[in-house]
């Protein structure tokens, strides 16, 4: 039972890669380079960016990606690593507050054996969860409704997410200055 549930939660993360793998080149690098309205990048940092998943498992499913095309966690520089995590935390805070997310799956898939479809450009998945949301999965798969809501979601994130990251940076500073508590 437990395994079955885990499959339901994790397997859909592969769906988003199908389009990217068939095309030549890396769709994450292409998205980063493109400034067209069609791509789903909503935040560009110095070392990392954030993009909505085109085939979300849940509304708000996003990916945090180092700008540099690197394959593994080990290849990240300390700056890249810390900016990625900062954006992940900002995304969680944003989704919790604005979309009332009640939980999250945050993770990395490495290698085909782990379910990764795009092996070359590592990225963090952030999937917001709501109590009972596993029932919604069929509703969300690849419908027109999703693409409209993705556009709207992108708009909201583009307007507000930068401030969220800045706020998180400020908090980061405070935490490192005052280690107690
Ligand atoms: Zn890439």
Q: Could you report the per-residue pLDDT of 29-45, keeping only the tens digit for each?
A: 999 998 777 789 999 99
Answer yes or no: 172 catalytic. Answer: no
Q: Cα(61)–Cα(126) distance, rounded to whole angstroms? A: 6
Number of domains in the chain: 1
Tokens 């979309």 belong to 99
Residue 1 has pLDDT above 70, yes or no: no
28 CA to centre of ligand 1 in angstroms: 5
Residue 70 CA to residue 120 CA, distance in Å, equals 6
Instruction: Tell me how far the alpha carbon of residue 130 lies from the centroid of ligand 1, in angstroms.
Output: 31
Q: What CATH number has the domain bearing residue 105? A: 3.30.428.10
**pLDDT, tens digit (0-9, with 9 covering 90-100), for 91-115:** 999 999 988 899 999 998 877 777 6
How close is the Cα of 91 to the center of ligand 1, in Å?
21
Residues ≥6 apart with Cβ < 8 Å to 56 = 16, 127, 140, 146, 150
176 Cα to the center of ligand 1, angstroms? 32
Catalytic residue among 47, 121, 123, 125: 123
Distance of CA 75 from the midpoint of ligand 1 (Å): 13
Residues with Cβ < 8 Å from 135, sequence gap 6 or more? Answer: none
Helices 144-177 and 78-98: crossing angle in degrees, nearest 10, is 120
Cα(85) to ligand 1 centroid in Å equals 18
Q: Is the pLDDT of residue 123 over 60?
A: yes
Pairwise CA distance, residues 109 & 79, whole Å: 21
Q: Which domain holds residue 166?
A: 2-177
Pick the more confident residue, 141 or 6: 141
Mean pLDDT, rounded, of the chain: 78
């Amino acid at each position: 039972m437990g395994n079955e549930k885990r499959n339901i939660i994790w397997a859909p993360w592969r769906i988003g890669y199908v389009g990217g793998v068939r095309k030549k080149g890396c769709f994450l690098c292409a998205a980063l380079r493109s400034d067209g309205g069609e791509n789903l990048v909503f935040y560009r940092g110095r070392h990392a960016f954030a993009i909505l998943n085109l085939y979300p498992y849940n509304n708000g499913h996003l990916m945090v990606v180092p700008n540099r095309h690197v394959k593994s966690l080990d290849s990240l520089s300390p700056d890249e690593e810390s900016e990625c995590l900062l954006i992940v935390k900002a995304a969680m805070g944003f989704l919790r507050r604005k979309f009332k997310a009640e939980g999250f799956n945050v993770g990395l898939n490495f290698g085909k054996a782990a379910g990764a479809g795009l092996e070359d450009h590592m990225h963090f998945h952030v999937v917001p969860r709501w109590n009972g949301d596993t029932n919604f999965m069929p509703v969300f798969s690849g419908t027109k409704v999703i693409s409209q809501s993705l556009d709207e979601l992108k708009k909201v994130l583009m307007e507000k997410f930068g401030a969220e990251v800045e706020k998180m940076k400020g908090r980061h500073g405070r935490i490192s200055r005052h280690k107690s508590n």
